[in-house]
Structure 1
Amino acid sequence: MKNYILILILLISCARNQSKRTSINIAKIDSTEIDGKIPTSSKNQSIQKYVDTLSIPLQYVVTIPLEVNKKKMDIRLRLSKSENLAGRKNYTIAEIQEDTNSFLPKSAYECIEGTVELQHWQVINKNSYYNTYDYYKSKDFKENDFVNKKKMIFRNEDYNFISVTDVDNDGYEDLLILDLSSSMRDNEMYQFYKWSEKENKFIFMSDFFDKAAFYGWDKTGKHLITGVSDTKERTLYKNKIVGGKLKTIDQCTEYAVSDQLCW
């Protein structure tokens, strides 16, 4: 009888020790930050999140479909994971994936890549690499929100950084690409790419805006507004296209201390 009681006590003790070891292992998983994701209090949810992160690749490609002058082309962004050691968070880096597209010159790809990289935290990062991946996965890794096919009207900031429109009124659609690397506060610089029917591709017009910021068209949609702005005043120019170049037809200055606006 004594031997029976002793064996029973040993079995209960072993079962308790095994239970403690299991709970400790689960607690370690539950309290660990896995690849930038902080698990919730639920043990099952934390384990599931760990499994989910394993299926997310370290890099993937997002396609920006363009249709210009009835021609279709794709701009392919390769997104990859990097680490921000200061904030201990992962974030997304974008670069243009090389392809055989002959419609756009190299400078256009460099401008798009630089602009996306500089504003990735605003547009595509969505707070983490994983959320960015989920965002694009839900769209089948295609993104149309970068591209705008209507004229940018001055003071209406509802446009994207790639605009497809006939800038010089020659009957062919052109490209305007926001150049954040050359922009300053309140001075958004754009690159102008004119479609060449003869060469069947875009040509970079490097001096089109003459180092001035581009603010869009006026309310009539006929005149382009350019200018230079600082903290005290903004000098604006109303332009029309003459011989494929900008010609100023009116000039106005807005002051920070006044609520009077031009046009």
Structure 2
Amino acid sequence: MPVHRSRTTGRPRLAAAGTLLAVLSLLLTTPGAAGADEIPPRGSAHLGMGVIAHDGRGGLPHDSRVVQTEGVDVSSHQGNVDWSRLWNSGVKWAYVKATEGTYYTNPYFGQQYTGSYSTGMIRGAYHFATPDTATGAAQADYFVNHGGGWSRDGQTLPGVLDIEWNPYGAACFGKTQSGMVTWIRDFLSRYRARTGRDAVIYTATSWWTQCTGNYSGFGASNPLWIARYNTTPGTLPAGWAYQTMWQYTSSGPIVGDHNKFNGALDRVAALANG
């Protein structure tokens, strides 16, 4: 590399490459610099937040002979949603984030929950679980009290327990596998006692295996919503022979998260009606 001399002093000066290396070194050691791991703010979690980071992303699903019904899920990240546009694109059902822990409610819940209903969609609410902040029963109560209830109107799906990677700390929220199973059971039991419905469980097989020991005890009563951004749902958690719903991408049209219900629209309605 040639050495350049100052026109005024004649002394050598650093070439641009050396300066660039110094700047890069500073960036890498500065808190908050690009590439540094950052913990998101509480309340910002949403369905599938950790799927790409932990399970990766593959191709889109192949065409299937099984009739499937397109759906979406949304949270505050989507803001005010254009539900008419989604309906016209073929989306017929939706889930809306209502709550997280016992400390957060989605500020866009009204527009999203009512707006999807008004277009004719069958819709429901979901709760992002944080088992390290409150009991399962307390979080189920908070969820039901803030939009997560159920009514037999033909357009309201049972609530969803979103249980997946912890975006704020340890993947399993500091729980042992048996402790996690107990927490989930407490949430599901309280939700059923409050609403008369069995909640849907949203999760990813790799997380379920790691954090519950691949527990098989909920498959007989709680529908499964599996997260896997690939051409097939892949291996399901123990206890479920099939998934009821499948979140297959986070980069679909209009809102990002898109899903397939494992059946025609009348089966979506059947789940809503209990």
TM-score, reference length from structure 2: 0.25
Give the number of the structure whose residues are more often helix, by fraction.
2
Q: TM-score, normalised by structure 1?
A: 0.26
Bigger Cα Rg: 1
Between structures 1 and 2, the one with greater strand share: 1
